[in-house]
Amino acid sequence: MTENNLFSIQRNNSSRTLRLISPNNTNRLSRACILALTEEIRALASDPFPLIITGNLHFFSVGADLNEIAALTAPEAYKFSQMGQTLMNAINGFPAPIIAAIEGHCMGGGFDLALACHRRIAAPCAVFGHRGATLGLITGWGGTQRLPRLIGKARALELFITAEKLTARRALEIGLINAIADDPVADALNYLSRQASSSDVPEQRIARSE
């Protein structure tokens, strides 16, 4: 297992599990975290196995560190937006399936991270939302493009403008997530195993599936 103060990675023969961690357990996507995750995703892509990204029981990720954002100048904010987009594009373009296994709050930039994954499995307690409108903000990490592709432009616009929170059940109803499971990580592992057993190619090369 690889571990630092931002995430840990558990390796087995057929997949990898990346677990976000932080001292307060909210898994904020600070600049340091974004840079470290981008580097790790690129390293894993050199020998790609299916990857599961998860958090903890109460928080997948609450997104960017608002204290960091408040201190940014305009040029720094633009650079920060680019950093986030680079990470999300690295996840979305990963050459093996990446599954977001979501428990608890999945908000803002954490929501963008889940959207960049190829599949989303949520626990019944999961809560989704882009809350930026309550702060006069809009995501710059690709969520404005990926969310409409999943649930349609009208519904996505409504979520951005109203900052509505979605339950896992509602998220499943509108096509935001692929499944609900009491243990999203275990369900993701079972999904990958089923995909591998039905494929003629090695498990780490199985096609990404929505």
Please state, in angstroms and as integers, the Cα–Cα distance from residue 102 to each residue in 81, 121, 206, following that order: 23, 6, 22
The rounded distance, in Å, linking the Cα atoms of 45 and 98 is 11
Neighbouring residues of 196: CB distance < 8 A, sequence distance ≥ 6: 14, 202, 203, 206
In this predicted structure, what is the pLDDT of residue 136? 73
pLDDT of residue 134: 76
pLDDT of residue 199: 66
Domains detected in the chain? 2-205 (3.90.226.10)
Q: What is the pLDDT of residue 176?
A: 97
Other Cβ atoms closer than 10 A to 55: 29
Tokens of 188: 């993701």
How far apart are the C-alpha atoms of 94 and 110, rounded to whole Å?
Answer: 18
Give a three-class secondary structure readout of 39-101: HHHHHHHCCCCCEEEECCCCEEECECCHHHHHCCCHHHHHHHHHHHHHHHHHHHCCCCCEEEE
Q: State pTM to two decimals.
A: 0.91
pLDDT value of position 4: 83
Which of the 8 DSSP states describes residue 125? T
Per-residue pLDDT of the chain (210 residues; tens, 9 = 90+): 677 899 999 998 899 999 999 999 999 999 999 999 999 999 999 999 999 999 999 999 999 988 888 888 989 988 999 999 999 999 999 999 999 999 999 999 999 999 999 999 999 999 999 987 777 778 889 999 999 999 999 999 999 999 999 999 999 999 999 999 999 999 999 999 998 888 654 443 444 444
